[in-house]
Structures are given as structure tokens and as C-alpha cells.
Amino acid sequence: MVEPRTLQLLREVADVKRLRDARGPGSLADRAFVRSWRVLLRDWSTDRVLALALREVAHALVAARLAGVDAGVLALAGLDRGERLLVLQRAFDAVTATAEGGFGDLADLRAALDPDPFAEDLLPAAPPFVDALVRQPRAGATHPVLPRVVVEPPESHGDHCFVTAVYSALVAPRFGVGRGEAFLVALAHHLPNGDLPDAGFGGEVLLGEHYLRVLAVLEQRSLQQVPQGLAERLRVLLPQRETTETAVGRVFNTADVLDRVLQVHHHARAAAFTAAQALDDLDIVHPGTVQRFQLDVLAGAGIPVR
């Protein structure tokens, strides 16, 4: 099971849903979600799904510390292949050290770090439901008889599916499940929401006896957009997300509940954030040769720093 010592790493990985850069729309998680589906369209064999999971999880762990500074940026800045790999490994080691071994042996993930820029222009286009999931916001906390709790900005279904896939791959070995299989189930677990706007738990209850039929019909609409072999594989795997009687189901439900609840914790922390935390805890006025000057500027302007 997941232990408290892994919590910082889980929170940092979840922040990939909130990190952005100038190279594309959406969060880094959204873009990894789209990229993962484009890779799957090219090859969904067991070996290739495992390779995809290892690479994407490894680079998500790096992004938790380096944000959008990836192999492509480092290559653009003139670092050679060995230098790029060293930077990626340094970030990977820094973030995984916070879990104190709580995820077991991560050597396979570290070995999957790729210092070469990813050639996304060679991949097929994503199916329509993938782009829809990136645009489709999550409902947040809803209840059938209570007002909705609206938080801004909402995460997307692409955000949630990708981070849940990363969590699934991280915890999978503890349940005797392969990282690739765990990653794939979580990546695909919201296929109906390509068409179905998210009304949350409250909406599920109010749809009542129609809910499961609505999900089944709309899931099939999404599955029809991928190659038949991949669709058949997903039809076998996806029912396991609804049970804890299988190891795959236990992995998925572990990852899903962690991401859903940590998202609520994120909004609670953001609402309670204070300037003192940035100044004292995070050193927003960084130590260095100009720190004294900058502190004097703030003092002269009457802006408290303590």
C-alpha cells in the first residue's frame, strides 16, 4: 500500500497538471496525455506499452522538479547527450529521494530517461476524444442534494487521467501488476467523458438508472476512434477499474482516489497560501549577491518581508 513517506512525491507529480510553458497549449500533463495516446496509436503491443509507461512516468518525475526544462530545451541550449542525461538523472534522483524508498526499486524508471528530444512530429494525430478530454473540465466536488463546490481553475480530464496513470505505474509493482498495464488502464479510464460533460458524483446519482447505459454508449463512441486491436485490449482491461477484486483494479483505485483527494488538498492549500510562506519558507527573494539590495528595496517601499 501507499505510505506517508511517498506523499511529497505524489504531490509534486500532481503539480505537473498545473505546470505550463510556451511550447504548447495546456499543462505538461495534458500534453503528455495526448502524446501517450499518439504513441499508442502507432503500437499498442505489451512491450511498447511498457516502454511508453516507463518513459512517460520517468519524465513526469523529472518535470516535477524541472517543469518544462526537458531534453529538447537542453539540446536547444547546447548541452550534449551526456550532459542532458546527467541533468535529467539529477532531477529524477532529487524528487524520488523524498519518497525514501516508499515505491520500492525505481531503477527501471530511471533507466527509461531519454536524453534525446522526442520526435512528436512523426506520430499520428490523436483521436478526437483525446483532444476533447483535454478540453473537458473535471467537475470537482459535487453532491446530489448540495450545491457544487466550484474551484478555479478546474483540472482537465487529460490532467487527471495522466497523473492517475503515473500513480498507477508507480504503485503497480506493490500489487504484482506490470507498470504498462496499470498505466494503460488509468490513461483510458475516462473515455466516456470525451462526449459526456462531467457533473460529478451528484450527476451520477441524478442520472440514476440511465447512468451505466450512458457510460457504455459513450465509451464505445470513443473506442471506435482507435484501431480495433487497441480497442479490444481496452475492452478487456477497462472493466477492472470498477472492482477491487483484481490486482489491476486495486492499483487503479489506489491511484484514482489519491489523485482525486490530493487535488482537493491542492485547492485547500492554494486558498490558504500566505506571503510569509513565499518569503520565509520558499526564499522568493533568493539568497545571492543581490539579495541584500532587493531586501532594502522592499523595506524602502514599505513591503514587509517578515
Q: What is the pLDDT of residue 297?
A: 82
Contact yes or no for 172/181 (Cβ under 8 A): yes
Reply yes or no on whether the pLDDT at 306 is more than 90.
Answer: no
Contact status, residue 278 vs residue 284, Cβ threshold 8 Å = yes
Peptide bond just before 153 cis, omega within 30 deg: yes
pLDDT in tens, 16-49: 999 999 999 999 999 999 999 999 999 999 999 9
37-41, 138-142, 198-202, 288-292: least confident range:
138-142
Which of 104, 102, 258 lies closest to 173, judged by CA? Answer: 104
End-to-end CA distance of the chain: 41
Q: How far is CA 88 from CA 27, 91, 110, 166, in A?
A: 20, 5, 9, 17
pLDDT of 244-276, one tens digit each? Answer: 999 999 999 999 999 999 998 887 887 777 777
Q: Cα–Cα distance between 132 and 195 in angstroms, integer?
A: 7
User: Which amino acid type is present at position 283?
Assistant: D
> In this predicted structure, what is the pLDDT of residue 53?
98
The set of cell numbers assigned to 43 is: 503500437
Q: Which amino acid is at 141?
A: A
Domain residue spans of the chain: 4-129+147-273, 275-306
Note the pLDDT of residue 74: 98
User: At which residue does the C-alpha cell 454508449 appear?
Assistant: 217
Percent of the chain having pLDDT more than 70? 99
Q: What is the pLDDT of residue 293?
A: 85
Question: Which pairs from 225-230 meet CB under 8 Å and 24+ separation?
Answer: 225/127, 225/128, 225/129, 226/40, 226/41, 226/127, 227/41, 227/44, 229/44, 230/40, 230/41, 230/44
Q: Phi then psi for 141, rounded to 5 degrees?
A: -85, 115
Q: How far apart are CA 220 and CA 206, in angstroms?
A: 22
pLDDT for 74-87, tens place per residue? 999 999 999 999 99
Grid coordinates belonging to 268: 485547500
pTM exceeds 0.75: yes
What does the pLDDT read at residue 116?
97
